[in-house]
Structure 1
Amino acid sequence: MGQSTTQEDYTAPLGDLLYTTAPAWDVLDRHVLRFYGHFQEAVVEANLENFRTRHCCVMYYLEDDTCHITERKQENSGMPQGQLIRRHRFPGPSDGYLGWQDLRIGDELHIYGRVISITECDDWTRQYYEEADMRQEGAIPPDQDDFELSQVKIAGAPKQPRTYEKVYHEVKIGGGHINKDMQQFMEWDRKVCRFYAVFDDLSMPQFERRPFEILFFLADDTVEIREKYPLNCGRDPFAIYFRRGPLKRGKAEVHGPLDRHRKKEDMVSLEDFAVGGTTELLGQRFYIYDADQFTRAYYADELESALEPAQDVRLPERTVPRPKTPPYTGYGSWEDSMGSVHHIMPKPPKPDFVKLFKYDGKILRFTAQLDNPKPEDADRVFILNYHLFDDTLSIHEPPQRNMGIMTGKFLEKGVHLNQITGKLFEVQDFMPGSIIKVYNRGFEIMEMDDYTQKFLTEGNVKKNFDLQAVVEKLREGMRQQFPLVRDIFRKFDADHDGVLTMVEFKLALQKWGFMVTDEEALIIMKHFDTRKDGQISYNEFCDALVDEDYTQEMMKTRPPLDEDPGNYEELARGKLQEREETEAVRTAVRAIGDQVYRHTQTFTRLMKEFAHMTHTDSVTCQQIVIALNSIGKDFSLQDVMRCVSYVLPEVDFQKVNYVIFLKAMVTSYHDLSGKR
């Protein structure tokens, strides 16, 4: 065996006196000797052949004297092929390892029990051996076995030419060429009819109406069924109910690989779908209630049959009856007990300050006797005090001579329950002749005092105000409390819109202790409103509150108070409704704008929802509400219409371009500043 390349030193002349030495792995990197050969292997399980000739390739790497053998693959050979022996140093013919000098065309390579006959090498290998004065022999033709000869016969068998007559006869007997459906594909590719359907799922313990989308692909008459899962429905997120493919009518069937092909007449076609109709697919009866605009246009133009209008398949929302309020136990106040009913963690009750301010100090008094009393209690008289500001009741018994009973406080002041009506005491319960029951004691109402009688007959007890004096006192009180008119105006402008409405002005009067009626409040408001437009602006408020400067003429006297309201109430109420609607529009635009502008993922999710709803670029306001609800954003139809009319003033609510709408929501987000 010759000396290995790894033991040699390779030198290169750099002049007459200087030489350099490089290692073999650097000089001979990626230098490979390639030989071709074959070996025979016995075939014991076949009657048609006794052996198989396996052709292989031997590669020798000069950088480290390693080799590996691969076998080229043959189609339908029935045996694993590829790498036969992995790369490593092969044992040589004698002691040591195999060297490049041991590989010669015509010789045999004995390796691990296999005898490989070397028959050929590539051109680079021949050139390498010629430079080393070891010329290789010519190529030896490889052996062929019976299997290889049969493959050559199959590959070289003549084919019958495909003529028009042959195609005609194939079509006539029921066959056809492979492009018979290409015309349908070219015309209707990427065109899909979309139907919306539901079916009632009775297999679950609780009844459920499940929504679906049925997609019919016009290119190849295949069907795909998708389930439209609502938000938080509790189902696994697998939307594909039936993957795209040909679908047979009727019940679902399981077919094996040996089953015959199904006929095209048994497959689902467009004639099986109609709005308002029912079709059986996969063993379920789908009720089709709507279709998109493209599907309706396709039916009208191509099939010449218009689809029915959309059907309403929404189930009425399940009404959960409100549980009965448990009876008042008597422990603590009534408000504290009701706090435990309305909230899991009770909150402190909030007093009604408006009612407290309006009815502070007003008490209705009634006289009463015991109902069905004992003989010794027949002459007892009680005074019932009903406090209007907090709906509390107290009972005391006035002293009587020679009664023999200790009189005084009979029932502590508090919120008590009328056991006859089962509710808290109201003013209507104390009418003369009626009977009330508290703590198992019945009382018959006898009479009432004069104040109570006036309150119940006239509706309320009011003071007769001098409205001119009220105006002057109001001006003086406001100027004394606040040094600047601006601070006074901001104090009573609750919604910070720059004007005082009828409600805000009446609250300002109540602030200063003037319990006037609505008619009197309108008269005073009309005096402040110089333009008579139903609201008080800041300039009008300043003119009415601040005295005019002195001029050359004498100071002008203020006009007297006109006590005839006229039609000013209609103007004031109209402006109040206008302001409320403006505030509602502002609130709706800010709320929806926060979701679209500040949450970027909402914009993308809404675009996907609209694309699933329709193939056009426009949607209705109802569809916008559905899309928002499907991503967990709950908005009413009225708020959505207010938002659409604000960002797109002249748009039709039934045809809203959702791309322009979403872009307008983003660009107009900072038009409405937040309130301070």
Structure 2
Amino acid sequence: MATTRADGLPFLPGNSFHDPTKTRYHVSNTLKFKNGYAQQHSPVVGLGGDMLTANQLSESDLDELANKMPTLTYGQAKQSPPETFVPAHLAFDKKVLKFYGYFKETVHESPQEFYRVRPVEVFYYLEDDSISVVEPHVENSGMPQGKLIKRQRLPKDDQGNHWHWKDLNVGINAVFYGKSFRITNCDKFTMNFMESEGLVLNEPETAPKDPYTDSRKQPLRSYTTRSDFDKLKKYLELDRKVLRFYCVWDDRDSMFGEMRPYVLHYFLVDDTIEIREVQKPNDGHDPFPVLLRRQRLPKNRSDIHSSFPMIVMELTDHEVKEWFNPQDFAIGKTLFIYGRRVLIYDCDDFTKNYYRQVFGQTSFEPIPVSGLASELPKMKLPPYNGFGSLEDSLQNCLSLVPQPPKKDFIKMLENDHKILRYEAMMESERPDERNRRFIISYRLSDDMVSIFEPPQRNSGIIGGKFLEATRISKPNSSVENPDFYGPSDFAIGATIQVFKHRFTITNCDEYVLKVLEQNSDQYPLSTINSIRAAHQKTQ
């Protein structure tokens, strides 16, 4: 039903009329101010102050609107489409966290430094949680640099866990494969990412200074060239002027050493030294006239810095601290030239005049030098070390090329194939070894003893050769002069100790008694009687 106005006309198109008497056309305010702040306000009147009836709802209308369900009128609302799935390798592609840090490397070979501080950069790749550690390249550092740990997932502990970006922070020690890296700072992207994930980063730190790098930043050496006496003036004034000293090399402390005469030349033009040998006819020395070629001679060649690579580089003026000069030479003074003890005993007239004019010396009394070779020391044999036989060790001391020890061929020819056999049993605290039986063979040709164990059934011990043929020394005998066992010691009932094994002689064959009776003057009577009594019992 159409709404009617106050004049009774329906409110339809064509029935609205303009009031010619109306003069107010102002717009009502939709905002109001409260405590200085603008607040939204619904107007009550319209243009010109006319009352608005369309927006005034009654209580019944409000209740109807409150109980009205939009879904019954407009239907079920459409659900928004789900968000598109983005994989991690696409979402975090080319997103890398960068941390700055360092690690300390201990130095054992150099006396100048104890450790080095080596800076590193730790990259964390968010797409696959992998980590790489790279050391920035430093020019002329002398150390291999670059990628220390290639990109991979790094294990954190023994339980199979790996390092995650949540475990990284500034001011912590990260241990990768047993090496501790100190993280000091990170870049801006890493800081923003950590803050967006709710992680608070620690305050950045400064890496300690590397003492070796600081030492390399020292200023270079500066040298001042003397201008009052340059090389050209020195060459013009001192060319062909040579100081000549007569000296001897005292080598009497070594074997066949003697006093060998030499001439020492000191060239003033370039401060070089030459030492030449004084040759005599039929002196027995090889013709090597020059002991030291012309060169500058350092006072102590070993007094240089320990880090100087002497194996590949020669000494220069920067390494040698002191060189020999004319002030170091005087009659009666002993010089040590490359380990040789050289005594100056005289000099020529030009050298004497030079020292009078320059140094003011007046005494040039020569020193008499003469002497024979030192007495040859007597050779002392070293103690026996226990390796090999005593005779073989002695031959190594008697000649440079060892010769085999000499044998008694007469004894070998007379006693060839003469072997004395004895039956023995082992003395032992173990019951299973007391029943073991052995055959001891003694060779008269070279006094060597061999032991054989006959196999016994059901004994549990494999028989066979027990001892190779060797000479057996008696216990408590000296190592240098050992006392070996002989036929006189193999009496019936006697105990023989062979390398901590004790054997008791129980019997022997008849050939032993025959040999001992034929040479009764060489063997004790008690041994012969014990063997004779044992054979009489067996008969």
TM-score range, shorter chain: under 0.3
- TM-score, normalising length from structure 2? 0.26
Instruction: Tell me which of the two structures has the higher relative contact order, counting C-alpha pairs closer than 8 angstroms and 6 or more residues apart.
Output: 2
Q: Give the number of the structure whose alpha-carbon radius of gyration is greater.
A: 2
Write 1 or 2 for the structure with the bigger share of helix. 1
